[in-house]
Structure 1
Amino acid sequence: MPYVVNHPVKIHFQQIGEGPPLVLQHGFSDSISGWYEAGWVKRLGRHFRLIMIDARGHGFSDKPHAPDAYNLSHRVDDVLTVIDTLGLERVHFLGYSMGGWIGLGLARKTPHRLLSLTLGGIHPYGQDMSPYRRGVAHGMDDWAKLVQQATGGRMPDSTLQRIRANDPQALAAAVANDRPAFKGAWSQLRFPCLLFAGTHDPLLPQMERFAHELPEARLVRIEDADHTQAFFEPARLAPAILEFLQPSKGHV
């Protein structure tokens, strides 16, 4: 099982497929397994070298219990440590929700390491994380029920079991602090950006604002999906992502 160590947290990652390198970073309380279960690996793995990372506090990565361990700078360095270890100078990046937040941090800290940026369900204007704090306060069984309700009951049993298996102290530490707004304009980014969100995602208005601020951005709206459901729509999203990343191969 491949790991890297980032002072001193062990970060688990996996690779599959061949082609241009595409880093996949999952959302809160998820793991690498989510990319498989939702169908992303099946649809994108034929076209890219997928590099999937278990964020600290999740999956098979270490799970510190101190909130300071989850500062965005540490999470960004986790990704950089993985791609440095693999000898990659530049990568495509796809992140959902919390994973998109990490992608924003990469774009700020090391824009020269990104070939493109694809972000779902995230914006750079700060976020109150108290709903997540309340959600995990009573344990993983209650949190799993909330996530299942958010998907309209369409979540596989394997996903629910995996969510229940999370370390509640690690997840509580990961959302102990609100996400501050990024400072400065985004107009300096010089690589293409794709944003996506469900039309029922409460973050959509901020993402529409963000799309207008980016010089090379496109926003894809997933009809009748909320924040959680959008991740489970690779059948609708993957063609747009593939067309964005490889315009000559606009199908999956």
Structure 2
Amino acid sequence: MIVTLRGIAYHIEMSGQGETVLLLHGFTGSLATWQFLDQALGDRFRLVKIDLMGHGQTACPADPRRYAMDEAVNDLAALIDRLGLEKVHILGYSMGGRLALGFACTCPDRVRSLILESASPGLADEDSRKARRLHDRKLADFIRHSGIRRFVDYWENIPLFESQKQMAAEKREKLRRERLACSENGLAGSLLGMGTGSQPSWWDDLDSLSFPVLLLTGRLDRKFCRIADQMGKRLKKADRQVIGSAGHAVHLEKESVFSQKALKFLIDRTGRK
């Protein structure tokens, strides 16, 4: 279904019943990445899957400023209002995890719990943010000038996704189709508007979060394991989980284990059996 939020047409899908869990995908992804959770979580929780701005079937504004983190956070708040809810659980992967954490730090009274997969609070110092903005600007130019196919050829071969080459051929092809379905303008706008260098740093906000947070990473993703370890030391109610033989996208590489970890965490928070 299409829902207009603050002037942007968002594509969302809803399934299941119970307390609501918002599902936020990563860069170059779509809500389709979460379809496997329908069977694992759908009989206990209401799942709201969202194509984030510039991805899937959601609109791609021309102005990169509309993709900014605070704009995306306000869109999520508008969606929760539209659903008539006060609080939700949020599960976010990578870029979607940064958005989930940004929303949690901005609107903590609207969050029941948080599941962050391979996510970060951003970059702590301005020099690092400046360097990352320059990198993302170059990558956005590459996407626009070279086209989506050349970009996907590059993107699926970066070191961060090396472990995905061990997935079954059918799953790799499905992931590639999902990436190829993205638009050049949507991905470029997303990089420029809510890339890691453009978003605020949430590191200093972690100490104030009082709800439970599950931090999930794959053992092969050493960078994000370090980030999650650092986050865990600052959060009041952190549940730190490392999944062996998995990289950045645990939910793709270890689907069953991911489902079990997410389900247990949510059941423990709600008391639902």
Same fold (TM over 0.5): yes
Task: Report whether the alignment pairs 1:210 with 2:231.
Answer: yes
Task: Figure out how many residues of one structure are paired with residues of the other and give that number.
Answer: 247
Shift of 1:95: 0.6
1:222 aligned onto 2:243:
yes
Picking from 145, 150, 159, the partner of 1:142 is 150
1:122-133 aligned at under 5 Å gives the runs: 122-126=119-123, 128=132, 130=135
The alignment yields a C-alpha RMSD, in angstroms, of 2.2
Q: Supply the distance in 1 between the matched residues of 2:137 and 2:47 (Cα, whole angstroms).
A: 29
Shift of 1:148: 4.3
Measure, in 1, the Cα distance between the counterparts of 2:156 and 2:39.
23
> What displacement does 1:132 show?
9.0
Is this contact kept in 2: 1:198–1:230, CA < 8 A?
no
2:89 equivalent among 77, 89, 92: 92
Question: Which ranges of 4 or more aligned residues in structure 1 deviate by more than 6 Å?
Answer: none
**Does the alignment pair 1:12 with 2:11?**
yes
Partner Cα separation in structure 1 for residue 89 and residue 138 of structure 2: 31
Distance 1:42 1:142 in 2: 35
Preserved contact between residue 24 and residue 95 of structure 1 (Cα < 8 Å): yes
Instruction: State how far apart, in whole Å, the 2-side matches of 1:34 and 1:183 are.
Output: 28
Secondary structure of 2:246 counterpart: coil
CA, structure 1 residues 185+83, in 2 after alignment: closer, same or farther (shift >3 Å)?
Answer: closer
**2:218, 2:246 within 8 Å by CA — same for their partners in 1?**
yes
Find the aligned partners of 1:233 and 1:132 in 2 and give their Cα distance: 32
1:45 aligns with 2:64: no
SS at match of 1:55: coil
Q: Distance in 2 between matches of 1:132 and 1:226?
A: 26
Mark the CA change 1:55 to 1:124 in structure 2 (over 3 Å): closer, same or farther. same
Q: In 2 relative to 1, CA 133–50 (structure 1 residues): closer, same or farther, beyond 3 Å?
A: farther
Q: Which amino acid aligns with 2:180?
A: R
Query: Residues 78-111 of structure 1: CA distance to partner in whole angstroms, max 9, x if unpaired?
Result: 2111111110111111011111111111111110
165, 170, 195: which is aligned to 1:152?
Answer: 165
| 1:117 equivalent in structure 2 | 114
Asked if 1:163 corresponds to 2:163, the answer is no
Uncovered stretches (5+) of structure 1, i.e. residues with no partner: none
Q: Which moved more, 1:78-87 or 1:181-190?
A: 181-190
CA deviations 1:134-190 (Å, max 9, x no partner) are 386333223333454421163343332221121112201211252442263422211
Aligned 8 A contact 1:22 1:50 in 2: yes
Whether the 8 Å contact between 1:118 and 1:193 is mirrored in structure 2 is: yes
After TM superposition, the score normalised by the length of structure 2 is 0.82
Q: Distance in 1 between matches of 2:235 and 2:37?
A: 26
More helix by share: 2
| Larger mean Cα displacement after TM superposition, 88-97 or 147-156 | 147-156
What is the CA-CA distance between 1:33 and the residue it aligns to? 1.1
Query: Contact 1:4 / 1:85 at 8 angstroms: preserved in 2?
Result: no
Structure 2 unaligned blocks of 5 or more: 124-128
What secondary structure does 2:227 align onto? helix
CA gap of 1:161–1:170, structure 2 versus 1, over 3 A, is same
Q: CA deviation at 1:227?
A: 1.2
Q: Which amino acid aligns with 1:159?
A: L
Q: Which residue of 2 aligns with 1:80?
A: 77
